[in-house]
């Protein structure tokens, strides 16, 4: 257990952290790769590399999958559910004991503000706690077949599960996949994004220290083509959980089809926040601001479209602009309102959207440009941005920018707001702000999205199922539905008369 202030001081003095792991995590230990290659990991707040990590290959993936297959069949599948529960409970406690280390590493890897990283780590601990409580409650059903028969179902673990973890919420996404898979009796092989490898490695080590048998959770680092693709194509994998882009998700589906491998896909969104004229304006302003600028807008469920009723449009946008301009930017360790974006490549992508918008004559009312940390002149930053009166068919309203850019759409009334909210290829989440609860629930039924927030964006927690419709993907994570994703149902019927 290391204090965050000491870790920050170490980083500022040395430019790195001595506690960072090296190697893959396979068979309960950090191991040397088959080919001894490494990659740089960059601090988005400075744009400078702060460490090197292992660049894996197909051979490493083969080793990890074989290890997880052996552990599944020999140790984990048949362990008593109450024993699995105790291990996951200990894992939750160890995550909290290592809160500062995990949060500082997450900030350096992803760029997000330290207080956001702290929240992510606490959420990861809560995720393991939640699924620890579900291990021994995964019950089947019985069927009334008459006096001469007995019929029932049992839930069996699907086997070896592959987890492709994105760079925007590394430890959160790892936890929401690992915990239910392990609770169901599955084993895990994970490939974290090459931009953010470290917290998945540390998490796997903590799980082993909590009592997880060797091989039950393996982590292989490296690039998508050299480790991610071999993992999703591997015939020894029984299930794939993928979070990422539509383009890569499509490739994962095609790879899974080869061996008829089960998949859960979470592919992003362009989520609307519907603000009606009768809303609590203070509540709505705070909600819209957090929905788009948390983690610099790099959230699949970010409220990146504001669909606001015409009657309050002008005053609402004016106040939103004023609050946006008051946000401070800075390195994640300085706990700013808005941190950097994750990479120079992603920064260029965001800037491209705004450059094209300018060329179309878009009304950019604040922001719209690349910038840097005001304290150092370094880092990959984009100004918090609002573009007003965006047409429904404009790419700012249709495409996922994945940055601190809010597109404002004007609705004549609630029916028009509904039409605008649904006029998109994505369907991950949506927010609704209104004081009329009947209207709120009517809209909630009609908006095509996997999760609806009413009068608080990002409401709920691990208990609430999460996942998308349309091109946002399919399958559900979190909640008991997330546990079901890692189970296969077996029906048994017997004649006893």
Measure the CA–CA gap between 415 and 276, rounded to whole angstroms.
11
**DSSP sequence for 50-95:** EEEEE---HHHHHHHHHHHHHHIIIIITTS-HHHHHHHHHHHHHHH
How far, CA to CA in Å, does 163 sit from each of 82, 229, 285, 344, 411?
A: 24, 12, 36, 25, 40
**Which two three-digit tokens encode residue 225?**
């083509």
Say how far apart CA 291 and CA 341 lie, in whole Å.
16
Place of tokens 């609770």: 183
| Interatomic CA distance for residues 28 and 31, integer angstroms | 9
* Contact predicate 278/409, CB 8 Å: no
SS3 content of the chain, % helix, strand, coil (to 5): 40, 20, 35
Which one from 116, 129, 226, 266 is the annotated catalytic residue? 266
CA dist., res. 263 & res. 493, Å (int): 29
135 is an active site residue:
no
8 A C-beta contact, residue 215 and residue 190: no
Our answer to whether residue 97 is catalytic in this structure is no
Q: Which two tokens stand for residue 460?
A: 């709920």
- 3-class DSSP state of 218: strand
Q: Which residue has the tokens 């599944």?
A: 72
Residue whose C-alpha is closest to residue 198's, from 263, 334, 102: 102
Among 300, 400, 477, 487, the one annotated catalytic: 300
CA dihedral defined by 205, 206, 208, 212, rounded to 10 degrees? -140
131/182 Cα distance (integer angstroms): 9
State the DSSP code for 334: G
In order of 82, 93, 162, 166, 190, the CA distances from 255 in angstroms are 35, 37, 13, 18, 17
Report, as residue numbers or ranges, the catalytic residues.
266, 300
């Amino acid at each position: 257990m290391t204090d965050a202030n000491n870790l920050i001081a170490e980083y500022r003095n040395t430019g790195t952290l001595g506690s960072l792991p090296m190697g893959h995590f396979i068979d309960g230990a950090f191991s040397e790769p088959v080919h001894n290659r490494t990659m740089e990991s960059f601090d988005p707040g400075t744009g400078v590399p702060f460490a090197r990590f292992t660049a894996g290959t197909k051979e490493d993936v083969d080793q990890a999958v074989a290890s997880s297959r052996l552990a599944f069949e020999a140790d984990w599948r048949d362990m008593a559910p109450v024993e699995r529960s105790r291990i996951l409970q200990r894992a939750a406690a160890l995550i909290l004991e290592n809160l500062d280390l995990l949060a500082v590493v997450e900030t350096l890897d992803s760029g997000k503000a330290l207080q956001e990283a702290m929240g992510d780590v606490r959420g990861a601990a809560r995720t393991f706690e939640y699924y620890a409580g579900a291990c021994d409650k995964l019950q089947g059903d019985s069927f009334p077949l008459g006096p001469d028969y007995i019929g029932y179902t049992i839930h069996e673990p699907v086997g070896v599960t592959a987890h492709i973890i994105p760079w925007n919420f590394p430890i959160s996404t790892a936890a929401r996949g690992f915990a239910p898979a392990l609770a169901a009796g599955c084993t895990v092989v994970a490939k974290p994004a090459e931009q953010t490898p470290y917290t998945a490695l540390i998490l796997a080590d903590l799980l082993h220290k909590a009592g997880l048998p060797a091989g039950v959770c393996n982590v292989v680092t490296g690039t998508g083509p050299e480790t991610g693709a071999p993992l999703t194509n591997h015939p020894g994998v029984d299930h794939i959980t993928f979070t990422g882009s539509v383009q890569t998700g499509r490739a994962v589906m095609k790879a899974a089809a080869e061996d008829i491998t089960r998949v859960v896909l979470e592919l992003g969104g362009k989520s609307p926040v519907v603000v009606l004229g009768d809303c609590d304006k203070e509540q709505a302003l705070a909600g819209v601001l957090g929905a788009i600028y948390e983690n610099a807008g790099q959230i699949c469920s970010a409220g990146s479209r504001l669909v606001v009723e015409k009657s309050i449009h002008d005053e609402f946008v004016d106040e939103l602009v004023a609050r946006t301009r008051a946000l401070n930017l800075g390195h994640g360790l300085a706990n700013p309102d808005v941190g950097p974006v994750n990479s120079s490549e992603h920064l260029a992508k965001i800037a491209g959207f705004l450059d094209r918008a300018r060329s179309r004559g878009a009304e950019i009312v604040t922001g719209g440009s690349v910038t840097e940390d005001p304290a150092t002149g370094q880092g990959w930053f984009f100004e918090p941005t609002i573009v007003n009166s965006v047409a429904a068919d404009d790419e700012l309203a249709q495409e996922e920018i994945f940055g601190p850019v809010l597109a404002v759409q004007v609705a004549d009334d609630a029916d028009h707001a509904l039409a605008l909210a649904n006029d998109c290829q994505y369907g991950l989440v949506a927010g609704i702000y209104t004081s009329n609860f009947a209207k709120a629930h009517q809209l909630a039924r009609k908006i095509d999205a996997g999760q609806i927030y009413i009068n608080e964006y990002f409401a709920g927690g691990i208990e609430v199922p999460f996942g998308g419709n349309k091109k946002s993907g399919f399958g559900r994570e979190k909640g008991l539905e997330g546990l079901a994703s890692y189970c296969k149902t077996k029906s048994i019927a017997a004649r006893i008369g």
